[in-house]
Amino acid sequence: MSTAQSIDVHELAAELTTSRRLLRFATAGSVDDGKSTLVGRLLHDSKSVLSDTLDAVQRTSRARGLDTPDLSLLVDGLRAEREQGITIDVAYRYFATPARTFILADTPGHVQYTRNTVTGASTADLVVILTDARTGVVNQTRRHAAVAALLGVPHLLLAVNKIDLVDYDRRVFEAIAAEFSAYAAELGIPEVTAIPISALHGDNVVTRSGRIEWYTGPSVLEHLENVDLADQSTTGAVRFPVQYVIRPRSDELPDYRGYAGRVTAGTVRPGDEVVVLPSGGRSVVAGIDTADGPRDLARAGESVTLLLADDLDLSRGDLISGVADAPGPVTEFGATITLLADRPLRRGARALLRYGTSTTRVMVTSIEGLLDIDSLSYVPAPEALALNDIAKVTLRTADPLPVEDYRAGGAVGSLLIIEPSDGTTLAAGMVGDRRAALHPHPISKEATA
């Protein structure tokens, strides 16, 4: 290795080990929109593809008679999927730049699009929706945006692909961007960015294209690196579902009783008054413990152990909540659910409900409406819900649960409906009427720039 290369490695190592944050994003697109090529291009041009992987892609491309490597091969599916003609919902990809590290949930576009998009976007900070510049905004584009909105994803990126096939025509791009932004505004999505790209040629994917001089905005990667990650979930009163009770019962710590969990919302400090739900018992946070020593504050997303001043005998499934806006436990509530399994779900169905860390028996007491994803309105519900259906339902539980309205990211207000016999996840749900929670806002001029 030459000296020059050594210096590069030192610099790159320093850059790639700097302090940086994690962005989770999902990609969604219809068949043939070029999503695999875009994802392959992002991985390749951000130098995240390892040399032996790239060698394999080059060999396969040559074997297929291609002059240049087919980057979509980097995200090729499993043999099991090809043999069985199925698509497993989400593939995860990882790459990093000096600015950020990325987890990409790559969702297949064709069959079972709702299930796949819901799963991939459930924890996404941003969703990249691909569309073909020749066809523009199609039903599938609107559906992906609607699903992202229902999940509360704060940022959308519309990648108008194959811009080379419309001769890099500015008017084509602007018309598509305007139509999409108007739709996103109807959905109440706070931020939309549209970018003209050619995934095949790499225009505006990682580096800005010299062929699209009329476009002055960021490339896809630049936008991913700079999109605002300000997180509202750390403000407000704490939510802390108890996962496990830590009791060493040792000679040194005979009376230690810590509640292990992850802060799902808000912040917590020693001295904070809290209420334990559903029992309603009150106490004060006596300490926040971690293996690295005590903390004087814990924020949403952090796994810690809480110590309470009073002996309340909590167990897994309990929720420790700030007193200010603590949810009241109920046994009946409304939810917006998506069917994830290929089994019908009927009114009166009995199953298990997972909410936070608690599991209880549940009955679907009514199905109020089926959400038509194209018109975003409820239509009369069928006798039984089927895979990919999104519906407004009422659930009744055996035990009272401190449910509250779903919040973006799903740390609060998310649930699973589980088949008791074999554990299949039948449906995922969000507490409340998510359709009614979408608030249209006026179109911002900036949004299409």
Partner 1 sequence: MTLTDTTPTDTTPTDTTPTSTTPTDTVAPAKARATSPHLRTLESEAIHILREVAGQFDRPVILFSAGKDSVLVLHLARKAFHPAPLPFSLLHVDTGHNFPEVLAYRDRVVAEGGLRLQVAHVQDWIDDGRLTERPDGTRNPLQTVPLVDTIAAERFDAVIGGARRDEERSRAKERIFSLRDSFGGWDPRRQRPELWGLYNGRHAPGEHVRVFPLSNWTELDVWNYIEAENIALPEIYYSHQREVFLRNGMWLTPGDWGGPTGREVIVRRTVRYRTVGDMSCTGAVESSATDVRAVIEEIIATRITERGATRADDQLGEAAMEDRKREGYF
Interface with partner 1 in residues 205-244 (CB under 8 A) = 206, 222, 225-226, 228-231, 233-234, 243-244
Q: What minimum distance in Å lies between the beta carbon of 235 and partner 1?
A: 9
| Three state DSSP letters for the chain | CCHHHHHHHHHHHHHHCCCCEEEEEEEECCCCCCHHHHHHHHHHHCCCCCHHHHHHHHHHHHHCCCCCCCHHHHHCCCHHHHHHCCCCCCEEEEEECCCEEEEEEECCCCCCHHHHHHHHHCCCCEEEEEEECCCCCCHHHHHHHHHHHHCCCCEEEEEEECHHHHCCCHHHHHHHHHHHHHHHHHCCCCEEEEEECECCCCECCCCCCCCCCCCCCCCHHHHHHHCCCCCHHHCCCCEEEEEEEECCCCCCCCCCCEEEEECCECEECCCCEEEEECCCEEEEEEEEECCCCCECCEECCCEEEEEECCCCCCCCCCEEEECCCCCCCEEEEEEEEEECCCCCEECCCEEEEEECCEEEEEEEEEEEEEEECCCCEEECCCCEECCCCEEEEEEEEEEEECCCCCCCCCCCCEEEEECCCCCCEEEEEEECCCCCCCCCCCCCHHHHC
Parallel, antiparallel or unpaired: strands 330-339 and 303-308: unpaired
Is residue 271 at the binding interface for partner 1, with CB under 8 A as the rule?
Answer: no
| Residue 56 makes contact with partner 1 by CB under 8 A | yes
Q: How far is the CB of 328 from partner 1 (least distance, A)?
A: 22
Cβ of residue 26: shortest distance to partner 1, in angstroms? 12
- Among 32, 89, 179, 368, interactor with partner 1 by CB under 8 A: 89
Q: Position 271: which residue type?
A: G
Cis peptide before 278 (omega within 30 of 0): yes
Among 303, 365, 377, 444, contact with partner 1 (rule: CB under 8 A): 303
Identity of the amino acid at 252: E
Amino acid in the structure at residue 217: G
User: Is residue 76 near partner 1 by the rule CB under 8 A?
Assistant: yes
Rule CB under 8 A: which of 332-351 touch partner 1? 340
Write each residue from 116 to 155 as x if it is in contact with partner 1 (CB under 8 A), else as -, in one continuous string.
--xx--xx--------------------------------
Which of 248, 271, 280, 328 lies at the binding interface for partner 1 (CB under 8 A)? 248
Which one, 165 or 352, has the nearer CB to partner 1?
352
**Binding residue for partner 1 (CB under 8 A) from 2, 3, 4, 51?**
51
For partner 1, the binding residue among 31, 62, 66, 78 (CB under 8 A) is 78
- 300 in contact with partner 1 (CB under 8 A): yes
Find the binder of partner 1 among 175, 260, 312, 437 (CB under 8 A).
260
Q: Which stretch binds partner 1 (CB under 8 A): 78-86, 128-136, 141-149, 365-373?
A: 78-86
Q: How far is the CB of 240 from partner 1 (least distance, A)?
A: 12
Our CB check for partner 1 shows the closer of 46 and 135 to be 46
Q: What angle is formed at CA 396 by the lines to CA 392 and CA 399, rounded to 5 degrees?
A: 140
Q: Determine, following the binding rule CB under 8 A, whether residue 91 of this chain makes contact with partner 1.
A: yes
Please tell me whether residue 16 binds partner 1 under the rule CB under 8 A.
Answer: yes
Q: In this complex, which beta carbon is closest to partner 1, that of residue 256 or of residue 378?
A: 256
Report if residue 98 touches partner 1, rule: CB under 8 A.
yes
The reply on whether position 2 binds partner 1 by CB under 8 A is: no
Q: How far is the CB of 402 from partner 1 (least distance, A)?
A: 16
443 binds partner 1 (CB under 8 A): no
Q: Among 33, 186, 289, 404, indicate the residue that binds partner 1 (CB under 8 A).
A: 289
| 10 near partner 1, judged by CB under 8 A | yes
Size of the site for partner 1 (CB under 8 A): 106
Of the residues 58, 61, 100, 347, which one makes contact with partner 1 according to CB under 8 A: 100
